[in-house]
Amino acid sequence: MFAYLVRRLIYVLPVAIGVSIICFLLVHIAPGDPLTAIMPVDATQEEQAAMRAAYGLDKPLPVQYAIWVGKAVTGDLGKSIATGRPVADEVFAAVKNSLLLAFTASVIAFPIGLFLGFVAGYFRDTLIDRAVTAFAITGVSVPNYWLGIVLVIIFSVTLGWLPSMGAGPGGSGAWAWDFAHIKHLILPSVTLAVVPIGIVARTVRALVGDIFSMDFVQALQAKGMRPLDVLRHVIRNAAPTALSVMGLQLGYLLGGSILIETVFNWPGSGFLLSNAIFQRDLPLLQGTILVLALFFVTMNLIVDVAQAAIDPRIKRS
């Protein structure tokens, strides 16, 4: 197991380097000058040159990349062009809120998706299977930002049960574990959980249905093994693939929540990324994308190791 872990860590290094290069280049090939957001309209050529030199934008791209990566390794992601604050402080504060939202949504989505998938796979080609499949397809097909707006109209505007914006009372961005703050978490978490519920349910349904049709399951049933014991064998065989899907969905919940955070004004990484895009804040944009991408790479590594721990065949391969 240790050798497998070392091998996976070695594989992660070139992926992380490639991610950093892509993050750096993507924001530089976009049109426009990021310094126009903070420079006065009547700025002289000397003032523009001094500002570009202060942010290192006067150097060749390879030099800019080397400087940026060197600082990023030490935790220095630069300073925001729009606010002048350290990018690391803004990014990690936002990522903390996004992690809270993502893990809450995963606590909702994964148990429901797994349950629906196992039930549909067990009762394959029945009315229950068709109902679960229809629910899953609907969840995947409905745009989550539209669903968020509908939930706000129903539960915030019409019924007045739940708040619609911010992470706390008064639109506060600070989080505390009390009922007033938890109420702000309900609507965005439920909205964000709908798509993973559908994806996990459909994947597990197909997986469980295929496993039940395998020869070893039919042999166990022919031997007179109790249905509960047969189901235990099916779950063990389905676990690695289901874990992989859930790991990918957790990465999606963190990095793909930009629309949900915008709809609910949730102060997370997606909301921060949206503001950075509109303000052309290159350091903030680069830092946010890099942290989210590295989190996704880390999640894949954790899932790979967990799969190997569950299924010895992965280690042997």
Token pair belonging to 156: 């915030």
Do the domain assignments include residue 140? yes
Q: Check pLDDT > 60 for residue 317.
A: no
pLDDT in tens, 275-312: 787 777 778 888 888 888 888 888 878 877 777 776 66
Tally of residues, the chain: 317
Do the domain assignments include residue 50? no
Q: How remote is the C-alpha of 162 from its chain's centroid? A: 24
* Mean pLDDT for the stretch of residues 42-55: 74
The 3-state DSSP composition of the chain as helix, strand, coil percent (nearest 5) reads 75, 0, 20
Q: What is the pTM of this model?
A: 0.77
Do the domain assignments include residue 111? yes
pLDDT in tens, 190-202: 998 998 999 999 8
* Mean pLDDT for the stretch of residues 6-31: 77
Q: Containing H/E element for 230?
A: helix 227-255
The structure tokens 């014991």 sit at 229
Rg (alpha carbons) of the chain, rounded to whole number:
24
DSSP-derived secondary structure letter, 157: I
Residue ranges of alpha helices (H) inside 29-126 are 45-54, 61-73, 87-122
Q: Check pLDDT > 70 for residue 39.
A: no
Do the domain assignments include residue 236? yes
What is the C-alpha end-to-end distance of the chain, expressed in Å? 12
Do the domain assignments include residue 312? no
The structural domain count of the chain equals: 1
Give the CATH number of the domain where residue 270 resides: 1.10.3720.10
pLDDT in tens, 169-213: 766 666 667 777 788 888 889 998 998 999 999 888 888 888 877
The parent domain of residue 154 ranges over: 95-278
Do the domain assignments include residue 115? yes
Split at pLDDT 50, 70, 90, the class of 217 is: confident
Do the domain assignments include residue 181? yes
Q: Check pLDDT > 90 for residue 62.
A: no
Per the CB < 8 A criterion, the answer to whether 98 and 92 are in contact is no
Do the domain assignments include residue 304? no
Number of helices followed by number of strands (H, E) in the chain:
13, 0
pLDDT in tens, 126-148: 898 899 989 999 888 888 888 88
